[in-house]
Every structure is written in C-alpha cells, then in structure tokens.
Amino acid sequence: MRRTVTLLSLLLAAVAVTAAEVPPPFAPTVLEGEKGEYLIGPVTREAWSDFDERLAEEAAAYEPSPDLVKALAYVPRDVTVTVVLGTWCSDSRREVPRFWKLLDQADMEGVTLVMLAVGRVDAPESRAWREAHGVTPGYRERFGIEYVPTFIVTEDGEELGRIVETPEVSLEADLASILGVRATPAWH
C-alpha cells in the first residue's frame, strides 16, 4: 500500500511539473520588437485583453447597427471566422474589439472565432518565432494575408468572404453581406 501511494505521489508530481512547463494550447508569446512588446501566435480574446486594457474602451465605444445585429442573431449556420491580426496594429486594435462586441450583441452561437497574431512583415524576432515553433508557412502566407486585420469567414472549410483591414461599410454590414443576411429596419 505504501509503495502504491508513493508511486501515485510521484506520478502526480510528474504530471504537475509537466503541466507547468507546457503552455496552454492558445497561449500567445510576447515578443519585443522595435516599437515595443506584442503578441504572436494563437491568441484568445482574454489573453489579448489582459495584454492591452485599451481594447475594452474601443469595444465600448462601438455601436453596431441594431437591425443588422438582430438579423445576424438568426443566422443558423456554423461558420468559422479566422482573424489574422497584429496586436501592434492600430487597425487591429480598433476593428477586432468592435467585432467582439458585434458577436456578443448578436449572440451568434454558430460562430467559431480563431485569432492568430502576427508580427510585422520584416520583424526578425517574428521570423525567429515562426521557425522555432514550426509555423511554416507563416499565417500570412498560409491565409494569403496582405493587411491586418483580415477576417476570413469559412463554412465547411470553404471561404465565403473576407473583411480586409477596414470594413467596406461596417463590420456588421460586411459580415451580413458575406453570410447573405438581409436586415429589416426596426421601424418597418
């Protein structure tokens, strides 16, 4: 019995040490670039919000169209939105929190959000991270990204459309267009 308890204790200790050394699956890395720190790799909303508290202000200030929010709430499809972004990029810091607010207000349960943070195109620390983590080709090359943020909407692995850098009309209007959703004005 004593030997079993000792063996069990050793196994639990080994698991605890191993778990402490392995980052969570969506833990981004903080890199230092010429203009300061930024995140790279798969990133969650919480991780980026913890890294940059100003994002909450951007989301709070954004008011998506209530008609389009309501229309998007009824989208019965399962889609994935992959966002390739730069935490160092002013467009990403503006548009991504706005997109979060849109998803929150529309309560789009069928949307899976995947966010991938990239470094600047010519950043040597970013290139070193990609090589060290086997991210080849990089997210930019893999998804054909020219500008960040790029929101790529897919369904069953097929791309439906993109919102590149800044929306043509608004995030909600562009997303509705990609998904084929039409809104009826609230006053109608």
pLDDT per position as a tens digit, 103-160: 999 998 889 999 999 999 889 999 998 888 888 788 999 999 999 999 999 999 999 9
What does DSSP assign to residue 44?
Answer: -
Cα 83 to Cα 99: distance, rounded to the nearest angstrom: 10
- Domains in the chain (CATH in brackets) are 27-179 (3.40.30.10)
Go through the chain and tell me how many residues it has.
188
Please tell me the predicted confidence (pLDDT) of residue 26.
56
Cα 145 to Cα 188: distance, rounded to the nearest angstrom: 40
pLDDT per position as a tens digit, 14-55: 333 333 344 445 579 999 998 899 999 999 999 999 999 999
Question: Nearest 5 degrees, angle CA 119-CA 97-CA 78?
Answer: 95
For the entire predicted model, the pTM comes to 0.82
Write down the H helix ranges in the chain: 2-21, 45-51, 55-61, 66-73, 90-106, 124-132, 139-143, 171-179
9 token code pair: 């204790």
pLDDT per position as a tens digit, 51-82: 999 999 999 999 999 999 999 998 888 999 99
Q: Is the pLDDT of residue 185 over 80?
A: no
